[in-house]
Amino acid sequence: MSEPQRIAYQGEPGSNSHMVCQRHYPELESVPCASFEDVFATVEAGEASLAMIPIDNSLAGRVADIHHFLPESNLHIIAEHYLRIRFHLLGLPGAHLDDIRTVHSHVHALGQCRNIIREHGFTPVVSGDTAGAAREVVEAGDPTMAAISPPLAASIYGLDVLATDIEDADHNTTRFVVLSPDFIQAPADNGPVVTSFIFNVRNLPAALYKALGGFATNGVNMTKLESYMVDGKFTATQFLAEVDGHPDQPGLKRALEELAFFTTDVKLLGVYPADPARF
């Protein structure tokens, strides 16, 4: 595999996805994409070698659409990274906190910064993206507008920081996964490993119970299990699961063999090092 030169992410420059790309892959060119679908398409077309995708948030739960793209794509999870989400209140140069009347940001960011909005009587305005809100403030040139954005956006768009770390909860964390066209497995004997996979079960009594029984009897810790309808049908269910361990380890190997016996369409999405922040 040649050394990757570009990593794609969803959002505008200065977004949280951009921040995590810069933090963990500073040697790569970060490529912004308008949608998650565009991120997957960019990597699958060879225009970027990796993708950085948010998959879960500690407050908002799973990121919509991602779990539907993963099974259909030809990309594989090769790493995970956790980012503590921080938001600053950004205004035009020279603006003051008392000048602000409206605050602009993504709907989730506005919901995660309710205290400062309520305290100052700001009017929240929904934008498509947290970093895009900062760009909108610059373009409007209105000193009564402010953006709730990640810290990186302040330097990118030349805005003043009017208030720091304004999020209501200090445990707000997003988990990102790195996707690659190449199925690169972490070694089994070099620290904790996570295995992600999908499978389908038939609409039969105790089907899921039987499918998962092997993980319990083989002492495998399952950290995620999420269900989805397949093709809009209520009688067919697909599951995304994550477990601690490597498929080459005897316990997980036996558990996956039992899973395959009771299910259909088992597909490994990735075998990758566990981020230390997971623990």
Which residues are identified as catalytic?
174, 176
Sole residue written with tokens 């295995």: 195
Residue 78: closest CA among 210, 217, 194? 194
CA–CA dist 106, 111 (Å, integer): 9
User: How would you label 117-153 residue by residue, b for 16+ Cβ within 10 Å and e otherwise?
Assistant: beeeebebeebebbbbbbbbbbeeebbebbbbbbbbb
Polymer length of the chain: 279
CA distance 160 to 95: 8
Q: For the chain, percent helix, then strand, then coil, each to nearest 5?
A: 30, 35, 35
Question: Are the C-beta atoms of residues 106 and 126 closer than 8 Å to each other?
Answer: yes
Q: What is the CA radius of gyration of the chain?
A: 21
Question: Burial code of 78-87, b = ≥16 C-beta within 10 A, e = fewer?
Answer: bbbbebebbb
Report the alpha-carbon distance of residue 233 to residue 239 in Å, rounded: 14
The two three-digit tokens of residue 240, written as one number: 């995304």
